[in-house]
């Protein structure tokens, strides 16, 4: 059996992989998230590829043959703009104000690399929010939850109270479409479960 390496320090991605019964170790990369892109799908796939390959290149030849590297990148996309992690409270407020009462999309690109095999895909989920008052936005920012999350919110946390509906994979919004990932891994009989 091949060992799985998650090329991400995201606690949410670690939780999701554990939830579906995968054993893995974490190796993070310090890849820049600056990229030129023509579409949100291309952007997340490109960033996931760069992160995965950065970790893959740190492995020995033996590890490259006996490991599966999984990497991912998630963005929130609204009105033709990519909404990354907020840089400060003002940025978080502006992001959340722009999303209030509207629909937006969450894109996650996922990259898998093992020896000569590689695979890449993108999942898209539409999220609709209830109207959120300025006071509610400020209270949410005060919780500290928005600051390490694309789009300044975590659907699995306090922000769940503002979710009107979703179309697509909930786990994709959390940060990793694990159902699709598992199916991709199964295709190549390279899965290692507890």
Is 73 considered catalytic here? yes
- Six token digits for residue 107: 């894109």
The ranges assigned to domains in the chain are 3-187
**Active-site hit among 42, 61, 73, 189:** 73
Topology of the domain covering 3-187: Maf protein (3.90.950)
- Judge whether residue 124 has pLDDT over 70: yes
> Mean pLDDT, the chain, as a whole number?
92
Provide long-range contacts, Cβ within 8 A and 24+ apart, for 56-64. Answer: 56/7, 56/113, 58/27, 59/5, 64/114, 64/115
> What's the predicted TM-score (pTM) here?
0.91
pLDDT tens track for 48-88: 999 999 999 999 999 998 999 999 999 999 999 999 889 99
* Composition of the chain by helix, strand, coil, percent to 5: 40, 30, 30
């Amino acid at each position: 059996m091949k060992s799985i390496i998650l090329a991400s320090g995201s606690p949410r991605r670690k939780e999701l992989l554990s939830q579906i019964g995968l054993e893995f170790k974490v190796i993070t990369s310090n890849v820049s998230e600056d990229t030129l892109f023509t579409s949100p799908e291309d952007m997340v796939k490109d960033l996931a590829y760069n992160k995965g390959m950065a970790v893959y290149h740190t492995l020995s030849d033996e590890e490259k043959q006996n490991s599966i590297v999984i990497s991912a990148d998630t963005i929130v996309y609204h009105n033709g703009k990519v909404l990354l992690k907020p840089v400060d409270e003002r940025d978080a407020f502006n992001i959340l104000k722009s999303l209030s009462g509207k629909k937006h999309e969450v894109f996650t690109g996922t990259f898998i690399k093992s020896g000569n095999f590689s695979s890449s895909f993108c999942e898209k989920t539409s999220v609709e929010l209830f109207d959120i008052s300025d006071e509610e936005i400020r209270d949410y920012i005060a919780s500290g939850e928005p600051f390490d999350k694309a789009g300044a919110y975590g659907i699995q946390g306090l922000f769940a109270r503002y979710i009107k509906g979703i179309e697509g994979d909930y786990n994709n919004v959390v940060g990793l479409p694990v159902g699709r990932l598992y199916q991709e891994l199964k295709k190549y009989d390279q899965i290692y479960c507890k």
